[in-house]
Structure 1
Amino acid sequence: MSDPCYDCLRWEKDGQFKFINSAMYEYNPAMKDYMKRYKFAGDYRLRKVFSDQIHEQLKKQSAIIVPIPVGKDTVATRGFNQVTGLLENDRYLNLLSVRFDKKAIRQSAKNRQSRLLLDQPFEMIESQKNQVKNRAVLLVDDVYTTGTTIRHAAALIQQAGAASVKGFTLAR
């Protein structure tokens, strides 16, 4: 694993817990186009573009795989959770749920400052809470932008007693 990036160091300096995220790809114009078609246009077939590569990375992990959830309104509109779509070849544990069903503004439509001010959007699924006690957890998301979303999820999992929590994203 490479040295922590500037963003990880900045979060840690600001009093946040130590958290490292690894991304497979840069969030460049081609990846933005992919996400636009996969997530926002709802082309579920595109989950297969990266699923084998993601599977190869995740099978090296001994950690519990936990996808970032989406709200019920997103599933109703889009028809799927884009993260679990990418994980179709992998075992994962649904450990978190979204606290608020309706979003005033999509996360992708917010600017950096608005994202950084995001209130805790998740809650632990009570029946799953003990699954992570003293275990390593790998949070999986599609895109790391500011790190706020994945860090909110990581904070809850750490509070539940996980031995360690790291992040893995398709793009950053």
Structure 2
Amino acid sequence: MKRYKFLGDYRLRFIFAKEVKKAVTWQKRLLVPIPVNAGTMATRGFNQVTGLLKGCSLVEALKTSQTVKDKRQSEKGRADRLRLIQPFELVEPQIERISGKDVTIIDDVYTTGTTIRHAASLLYQAGATSVIGITLAR
């Protein structure tokens, strides 16, 4: 994961994507990836989550509320992660696509579940009928 996500070995997505696609393509749910902020995108050059979902129909209904992170999630301890304030906002044009639908949030790593809980909270506010999360690793 370090090599893929932090060292930028984007080719590894092909290996990981097979497992992720297997877990999500049979479902009749909207797929909502966890976004990265602009600073991460500028530094890394890709969103590690959407890289796992090439060829899948995605609803990019979330965006980060901060442009640059003060510290990477991977550098935070459990207590800091659990205290994280809502890091996302809904993308206005996508809200109507969420209402009345079953949604699957896709993320790369599950540590405390805080990221998925924050994302789910907003998706429920947008009218999602149900929300589950799928991650590549734990």
Alpha-carbon distance between aligned partners in 1 of 2:69 and 2:19, rounded to the nearest angstrom: 32
Q: 1:50: how far off?
A: 1.6
Selected match of 2:40 from 59, 67, 74: 74
Is 1:110 aligned to residue 76 of structure 2? yes
Aligned CA RMSD, in angstroms, stands at 0.7
Aligned length: 138
Selected match of 2:2 from 16, 36, 53: 36
In the alignment, residue 118 of structure 2 is paired with which amino acid?
H
Secondary structure at the counterpart of residue 89 of structure 1:
coil
In the alignment, residue 15 of structure 2 is paired with which amino acid?
V
Secondary structure at the counterpart of residue 104 of structure 1:
coil
Alpha-carbon distance between aligned partners in 2 of 1:55 and 1:105, rounded to the nearest angstrom: 30
In the alignment, residue 168 of structure 1 is paired with which amino acid?
I
TM-score (normalised: structure 2): 0.98
In the alignment, residue 106 of structure 1 is paired with which amino acid?
R
Is 1:51 aligned to residue 22 of structure 2? no
Maintained 8 Å contact 1:55/1:89: no
Quick one: percent identity of the two aligned structures? 54
TM-score (normalised: structure 1): 0.79
Structure 1 runs of 4+ with >6 Å offset: none
Q: 1:89: how far off?
A: 2.7
Unmatched segments (≥5 aa) in structure 2: none
Larger radius of gyration: 1
Is 1:169 aligned to residue 119 of structure 2? no
In the alignment, residue 57 of structure 2 is paired with which amino acid?
R
Alpha-carbon distance between aligned partners in 2 of 1:57 and 1:146, rounded to the nearest angstrom: 21
Unmatched segments (≥5 aa) in structure 1: 1-34
